Amino acid sequence: MNNIVNIALQILPASKEIHPYTLVDRAIEVIASSSLKYKVTPFETVMEGTYDEIMEVVKRAQQACYEAGAESLMTYVKIQSSLENVSIEDKMEKYE
């Protein structure tokens, strides 16, 4: 799986003391600091890269939420793969 894939990541953190948006911001910071192309949307963040690259970022984003004070996470991942590379632009260009 060395082709470029798109993965949509939604992390729903829970904490008794910290607002979820604050925790989600930590995950987005991890994604933004990666070398991956990404797009933040209201419900999830879509990333573009190889499967292994993205899954490493997913793991780091979850860890960042825990380090920021999350007590638990619900994490949802959607993957689009193909025999050819897939891109965010292929799906979004007519809407932007």
Mean pLDDT of 15-43: 97
The pLDDT of residue 88 is above 90 = no
User: Is 2.40.170.20 the CATH number for 4-81?
Assistant: no
Mean pLDDT of 13-34: 97
Q: Can you give the pLDDT at residue 39?
A: 95
Residue 68, SS3 per DSSP: coil
In 68-91, which positions are buried (b, 16+ CB within 10 angstroms) versus exposed (e)? bebeebeeeeeeeeeeeebebeee
What are residue 45's DSSP bridge partners? 9, 40
The pLDDT of residue 23 is above 90 = yes
pTM of the shown model: 0.92
Residue 86 phi, psi (nearest 5):
-115, 150
